Every structure is written in structure tokens, then in C-alpha cells.
Structure 1
Amino acid sequence: MIDVQRLRVLRSVAEHGSFSRAAAALLMTPSAVSQHIAALERSLGRPVAVRSTRGVTLTEPGRLLVETAETITAELDLVRREIDRLTERPRLTVATFTSGGRRLLPGALTRCVGAHPEVELTVLEAEPEAAVPMVRRGVADLALTYHFDGPLPPHTGLDRTPLTEDPLWVVLPEGHRLAGREAVGLGELAADRWVLGCLRTEAFLRRYAERAGFELRVAGSTTDYFFARTLVAAGVGVSLIPGIALAPESAGTHLVRVEPPRPARHIAVVTARRRRPPPRYVEDLVEALVEAAGAAGMERS
């Protein structure tokens, strides 16, 4: 049988990247951490971590164990919260990325809280790479997430409910040579400078530019799509922005479709897969988000 305390130690080693930092976080000695990991490896008959001068790297069995440890911790936290709910108000915690939260969450939350006025609501702003682990650890009950075109990120121990496809649009300043077009290929903008609205859009653009044989020239970098659009209107450059982030309208810009295959974000709700069904208010919020995406005229991904 795998010892839960040893899983806790392995999870800390993975989080902190070294035995010594994990020991400090757990209020243990590095020797004690090493003994726990060695005992775990003996019980499995396989190594779970490899130490080097650059830190600690998990083996594949180690990675699977850490994911399991997160699920077990989340289960225990869920039990603790359910016990607390016997005497306290039930709590609903939602993690969401900004543009999706602004467009889809308000109406869904209004409906859910109206049906469950006893629930104490908390909303946390987080990008998917932070929000998904929150759900896995039990910090959040659900997360509104997205991923760009390509393989779906692994969601071990989680359920994913698709909401919508969110196509990306080219945003051009007034007077741009392509502003009157219905659609453009991104390669036609190879000579332009770009304003970036988020790091993930930058990664997509750089991959595309490399495949198309041109170098991406960045004129501005932000983490706010509306700010990026105002920079485009000021003539700083052109941008690529998801449709869900195009409201409210910004004067001085033109929106042009990207020629097929059109890049898109795929928006979904992520919830934890538990042995017990989730509270009714979690299920109701997921249902409300699906309906909110449909009411906004978006396509299910």
C-alpha cells in the first residue's frame, strides 16, 4: 500500500524542485525527505525522482503519483469542506480567465446564486495553467478555461465540459491596406508589426510565423486585450484577438476574419472527477455556462 504521507512529501519535492526546499516547506530535514522518497521507491520497486545538479526531475511513475497525490488531497479537502458545510454556509469557488469570465460568467452566476442563495460565492482570476491545478487540488470547484488549436492538455482526474469555439480575429488600424478585406491570411501581415494581447497569443503567432517563413516583429506586448486594441487604434501595429474579447467595441479599428484554417480558442469548464457527485449548485453553474455560451451565439467545441 502506498503511504499518503510519502505522497505528500513527493508532491512537495515536485512543487519545489529540490529535496532541501521541500524539507523547508514541510518543516522536515532533507534527510527525512530523502528517506520518505527512498521508502516510496522501495514500495514501488521503481524510481520516482532523479536528483542532479540542476534539481529534481520526476520519472513517469513519479509524475503519475504526484497527480494522484493532488487528487487524494483534493478528496480530503472536499470531505473537510462538506463537514464544514454541516454547520456553515456552503461555498462555491470559481476560477476563470479574464475575457471568458467577463463574457460568460455574470449571467450564469446570477442564475446559479438566485437558485442557491445559501451559497457563499468566490471568484478567482487565473489563466488555465493556474486554474486547472486549483480544481485538481480542491481550491476551486470549477474553472473556466481555454486552449488553442492543437492537442488537448491532459486533464487527469478531471472532467471537461466544452462550451464554445472562440475564433481569433485580425484587428487592424483605420487606413490599413487590408482593412477593407473580408478575410486575410496571416502571412499577408508578415511586414507588419504586432501588438500582443497575451502570452499565449504570442506563442501561437511565433509558431505560425516560423512555419510561414517570416520573423514576428513585436511593437507592443500587453496582458489586456482591450489595451492591445487601443494600441492598434493608435497605429502602433496590428493584433490577433479572440472574438470573446472584442466587446466592448473600440473606435479606430477594423476586424477582419482569418482565412481558413481559422485559429481559435476552445473554451470549456473543468470540474474534478470525484467518487461522490458534486453539489447541485456546481452542476447548475456548469449548465448555466453551457446555456450562456449558446445564448451568446457561440459554437460548441
Structure 2
Amino acid sequence: MIDTGRLRILHQVSLHGSFSRAATAMGLTASAISQQVAALERDVGTAVVIRTSKGVTLTAAGRLLVEAAETVTAELAATRQRIDRLAGGRTPLRIATFGSGGRALLPDALTALLAVHPELELTVLEREPEHSLPLVRDGSADLALTYTLGEPRPLTPGEQRRLIWAPLADDPMYAVLPRRHPLAGRTRLDLSELAGERWVLGCLKTEEHLRRYAAGVGVELDVAAATTDYFFAQALVRAGVGVSLIPRVALAESAEQAVVELGPYRLVRHVAAVTTRRAAALPHLVLLLKLLTGRPG
């Protein structure tokens, strides 16, 4: 028999990449984590992690066990949900979303959903994609709004057996300039034309990707300000602090800033909804996915 508690520990090790970080997340010691992983290896008769000075990586057997851990955890969460419905007559629906996507896509969809399913008890969590997807995998969230930058990133073969990735929208980035900027009157510009500008970043998570994108056209980002809020970033642009790249769903309406399309190459966020195949069969999730994707019926 494989101990499910040890599976859960291995899952946390895989998420955090080291015994010490997994221990911090679980409120345990690194020694206790190491001992439980070693016991799991004895249970299955093979190594499940490779230990290095920089942390740990999973072996092929370890990856299989982590996939099993996600399945077990999701099944237990689904069972807990069904028990809660029996006990209280309410149906919990937990959604994890990144901020700008949730603001643009969720309110109308949730209004329509609750009109049909008033029994739902909603919980909405603001999480970036690297945090929201694990919540869906382990059953802590029923659905996540997420995105990839650049090319769409498909699920791995193992994930495709359990998860559904439903594309929702392409969300291109636009150059946002102060109204008095010399290029403010343009309808389209190449990023290379902004070489030498100071920049305001509206999302710390995407800074590395933006730097690679800019470097591809010979632009080095000279960062004047970095925020986690696209609307604050645009306020700084209007104040003359610098220029910025802002996704379409987060563009503010203001006469004090100019919004200019980028070309010929556009940087695009590919927005999607992710849920498990099991959850996607529930009537309220079926409707929510239809509302988010704009499908009729």
C-alpha cells in the first residue's frame, strides 16, 4: 500500500523543488520531509527523487506518483464537496483567476450563472497562473482563469487525461504613451521605435518575458517603475514617468494617454479556462464554460 500522506508530501516537494521549501509550506521540518520521502521510496521499491545541492527533481517513478497524488487529492476534494452539498444544500464553486482577466471576464458570466444556479456558494481567489493551476490540479479550485504569453502552451499528455484547457481570448499587448509623447499620434509602431525610453512595468511576473521580447528587436528595458497593477502603471505613464506595455483587457480610458498597436510582431496573452474533466461535467461548470467561451446554449 502507498501512504496517501507521503504522496501529498511528494506532491509538495515537486511544487517547491526542495525539501526545505516544501517543509516551510507544510509547517514541517526538512528532516521530516526527507524521512517521509525516503519511506515512500522504500514502499515503492525505487527512487522517486534525485537529490542535488540545488534541490530535488523527480524521477520517472516520482512523476507517476505525483500524478496519482493529484488525482487522489482531487477525488477527495470532490467527495468533500458532495458531502457539503448533502449537509447544507449549497454547492461550493471555487474560482482562481489573475486580476485583469477576472475583471474583464468573470462579472457578467457569474451574474448569468447565479441567475440559473442560485444554490452556488462562490469563492473567488486572485492568483497568478503558476499558483492557480496547482489549485485546480489538487482540487482546491474548481476552475482557473489563466494565460500564457507568446505561443499557447498545451497541457502535457498526463495533464490532458485529467484537465480541460478551454481557450477564451487572445489579449494583445499595446504600447501606452503619455499624450504629449512624439509617437502618441501613431496608430501602429514597432517596439524598436521605443528604444531609449524609460519603462513602467505593470506586471512583475512578466518582466523577464518582456525583456526577451524587447531584446529581440534590439531594445533594452530601462525600468523607471515596476508595479503589480496595470492601472497604477498607466497612471504613472500619464504622469510622464515612462512608457508601458499593457494588455487590451486592462487598458484605461483616459485623454491623457495614447494607446498604440504594436506591429509587425505582437506580444499576446492567450487567456484560457482550466478545469478538471470530472468537474467539467457538472451542470454549473458546463454553463460557466459556455458563458466564458461565448458558446450559445
TM-score of Structure 1 vs Structure 2, range by shorter chain? 0.7 to 0.9
Equivalences for residues 148-167 of structure 1 within 5 A = 148-152=149-153, 154=155, 156=159, 157-167=162-172
**Is residue 252 of structure 1 aligned with residue 256 of structure 2?**
yes
2:70 is aligned with 1:70: yes
Q: Secondary structure at the match of 1:25?
A: coil
Q: Which moved more, 1:79-88 or 1:171-180?
A: 79-88
Who is 2:286 aligned against? 283
Q: Distance in 2 between matches of 1:172 and 1:244?
A: 17
Residue aligning to 2:9? 9
Question: Residues 277 and 267 (structure 1 numbering): CA distance in 2 closer, same or farther, change over 3 Å?
Answer: closer
Superposition misfits of 4+ residues, deviation over 6 angstroms = none
Q: CA RMSD in A?
A: 2.6
Write out aligned runs for 1:52-201 (5 A).
Answer: 52-88=52-88, 89-152=90-153, 154=155, 156=159, 157-201=162-206
Partner Cα distance (1:29, 1:97) in 2: 34
Q: 1:298 is matched with which residue?
A: none
For residue 244 of structure 1, report the CA deviation from its aligned partner.
0.5
Equivalent pair of 2:175/2:244 in contact (CA under 8 Å): yes
CA deviation string 1:81-106 (max 9, x = no partner): 11221122111111111111111111
Q: What CA deviation, in whole Å up to 9, does each residue of 1:69-89 have, x standing for no partner? A: 112211111112112211221
2:272 corresponds to which of 257, 261, 268: 268
Q: Distance in 2 between matches of 1:174 and 1:30?
A: 56
How far apart in 2 are the matches of 1:168 and 1:30?
A: 43
The answer to whether the 8 Å contact 1:135/1:141 transfers is: yes
Structure-2 change in CA distance of 1:188 and 1:30 (3 Å) = closer
Q: Separation in 2 of the partners of 1:176 and 1:217?
A: 17
Sequence identity percentage: 51
Q: Give the unaligned 5+ runs of structure 2.
A: none
Q: Is the CA contact (8 Å cut-off) linking 1:48 and 1:59 kept in structure 2?
A: yes
Q: Distance in 2 between matches of 1:220 and 1:30?
A: 40
TM-score (norm 2): 0.87
Q: Name the CA distance, whole Å, in 1 between partners of 2:239 and 2:188.
A: 22
CA offset digits 1:148-172 (Å, max 9, x no partner): 1125053513111111111111001
Kindly indicate whether the alpha-carbon contact (under 8 Å) linking 1:230 and 1:250 is maintained by their aligned counterparts in 2.
no
Select between 116-125 and 276-285 the one with higher mean Cα deviation: 276-285
Q: Report the residue type matching 2:286 in the other structure.
A: E
Mean Cα deviation higher: 148-157 or 193-202 = 148-157
1:161 and 1:84, CA in 2 relative to 1: closer, same or farther beyond 3 A?
Answer: same
Query: CA separation of 1:34/1:168 partners in 2, compared to 1, >3 Å: closer, same or farther?
Result: closer
Q: What is the alpha-carbon distance in structure 1 between the residues aligned to residue 107 and residue 63 of structure 2?
A: 37
Residues 26 and 287 (structure 1), Cα distance of their counterparts in 2 relative to 1, 3 Å cut? farther
**Residues in 2 aligned to 1:169 and 1:31: alpha-carbon distance in whole angstroms:** 47
Q: Residue 229 of structure 1 contacts residue 250 of structure 1 at CA under 8 Å; is this kept in 2?
A: no
> Within 2, Cα distance between the matches of 1:201 and 1:31?
33
Deviation at 1:30, TM superposition (A): 5.7
C-alpha spacing 1:31/1:151, structure 2 compared with 1 (3 Å): closer
CA contact (8 A) 2:280 2:286 kept: no
Residue by residue, what CA displacement relative to the aligned partner does 1:30-65 show, whole Å, maximum 9, x if unpaired? Answer: 6741442322451xx4x2211233333222432342
Looking at structure 1, the residues matched to 34 and 209 of structure 2 have their Cα atoms a distance apart, in angstroms, of 44
Q: In the TM superposition, what is the alpha-carbon distance from 1:180 to its structure 2 partner?
A: 1.2
Q: Distance in 2 between matches of 1:31 and 1:129?
A: 25
Please tell me whether the aligned partners of residues 136 and 143 of structure 2 are also in contact (alpha carbons under 8 angstroms): yes
- Contact 1:9–1:37 at 8 Å: present in 2 too? no
Secondary structure (helix, strand or coil) at the match of 1:212 reads coil
Given that 1:9 and 1:36 are in contact with CA atoms closer than 8 Å, whether structure 2 keeps it comes out as no
Report the Cα offset of residue 123 of structure 1: 0.8
1:205 shift after superposition: 2.0
Aligned length: 288
